[in-house]
Amino acid sequence: MIYQFPWIHTPVRTALAIWNQLTKTDILELTKGSVMMRERSRVEDTIHSMQKAGARSLQVISDFDMTLTRFAYQGKRVPTTHNILNNRLLINEDSTKKMKELLNRYYPIEIDANLSPEEKLPYMVEWWTKVHELLIQQRIRKDMLAHAVRESSAMLREGYRVFFDCLAEQRVPLLIFSAGVGDVLEEVIRQNDVFHPNVHIISNYMDFDHAGILQAFKGQLIHSYNKREGALSHATALRELHGRPNVLLLGDSLGDLSMADGVSEAQNILTVGFLNDQVEDRKESYMNSFDIVLVKDETMDVPNAILRYIISETRKVHRKKVDTT
């Protein structure tokens, strides 16, 4: 007698298939070991809502240093936009030493999990002000910035080209909100061939005299803990952001969470935080603040996967229109 066991003929389900049945999204990257979420279901609901609305309702707001750029590479720190200026082409040895002393003094305060943003604020103003004064004293030449960036070890995160190109293709505005140096930031993006028309930058920009020598910094000082004021003051100026109530926000500091405060009539805001340093000390505060926390992840894998999912509905609609014409 032959016995039939139907279950033998049933294919073994993969881990991804099981994940798809248990969740509302099929973003495999969210299962990476570097990913932490406090409320997974809320993250999935938000991403699903953003997908239904499509690319036309989306804008991306991102920090730059240690968010779009790597924190480290092969065990060495990657320079921030301010650090790139710490170059023998631009400043002398004494100023290099002073900038390092300022970093050693103020950076521990910036990432101290025991201090509130309000307690950190005056120290951040001191730090940025002293660094800018130091740079102005060096009479930096504008025509040397591109050379300094080219000579530096500045690196965008792995997968950056997919990120920038996808947003440009879908005409999704990318607002880069940086406490770094805008002139240097632009040069980094330009030299990586991803400075697309949809990219808008709010940062600390240098003011050069008629001879191309740095004489001051323009406008209000932007540091890591006053981005809310900048977000509110610049929100109405960028028409491209109007009518886009869904926001994907990327940052590496708790101060970055306020970058979306200028978004009018926001519907869905999904926040992704890169936790690069002092992980154990800061993990709890990041988990309580960001929707998704990426621990020591030097890639854009998760943001890229979220973007692919959000715009997938838009691409389906576009294909249907093409097929009917």
Average pLDDT in the 117-122 region? 92
Active-site position among 26, 45, 65, 193:
65
Instruction: Please state the domain count of the chain.
Output: 1
Q: Give domain status of residue 230, yes or no.
A: yes
Over pLDDT 70: what percentage of the chain?
85
Which residues 6+ apart lie within 8 Å of 234 measured at CB? Answer: 202, 262
Q: What angle do CA 323, 304, 164 make, to 5 degrees?
A: 85
pLDDT of residue 303: 98
261 an active-site residue?
no
pLDDT tens digits, one per residue of 63-74: 999 999 999 999
Domain assignment present for 319:
yes
> Which residue reads 């869905």 in tokens?
268
Q: Cα separation of 315 and 325, whole Å?
A: 16
Using alpha carbons, list the distances in angstroms from residue 188 to 5, 250, 294: 62, 18, 23
Catalytic residue among 26, 45, 63, 291: 63
Token pair for residue 222? 């932007």
Please name which of 67, 99, 130, 111 lies closest in space to residue 259, comparing C-alpha atoms.
Answer: 67
CATH at 54: 3.40.50.1000
Output the pLDDT for position 228: 75
Mind listing the pLDDT tens digit for each residue in 182-222?
A: 999 999 999 999 999 999 999 999 999 999 999 999 988 99
Query: What does the pLDDT read at residue 26?
Result: 78
Alpha-helix residue ranges (DSSP H) falling in 23-87: 40-53, 81-84
Residue labelled with tokens 């992704």: 272
List residues bridging with 202 in a β-sheet: 177
- Rounded Cα–Cα distance for residues 267 and 246 (Å): 6
CB contact at 8 A, 121 and 226: yes
* Assigned token pair, 87: 């170059």
Any domain includes 269: yes
Would 100 be classed as within a structural domain? no
Residue 299 lies in a domain: yes
Q: Is residue 124 part of a domain?
A: no
Strands (E), the chain: 35-37, 58-62, 72-73, 76-77, 174-181, 199-204, 206-208, 214-217, 246-251, 268-275, 292-295
User: Could you tell me if 291 and 72 are in contact, meaning their C-beta atoms sit under 8 angstroms apart?
Assistant: no
Angle of helix 117-137 relative to helix 93-110, nearest 10 degrees, comes to 170
pLDDT at 89: 81
Question: pTM (2 decimals)?
Answer: 0.87
Residue 208 in any domain: the answer is: yes
In a domain, residue 2? The reply is: no
Which range of residues forms the domain containing residue 252?
29-73+156-212+219-324
* 277 carries an active-site annotation: no
Predicted confidence at residue 232, as pLDDT, reads: 62
At residue 29, does pLDDT exceed 90? yes
Other Cβ atoms closer than 10 A to 131? 22
| Residue whose pair of structure tokens reads 């009518």 in the numeric block | 243
pLDDT given for residue 261 in this prediction:
87
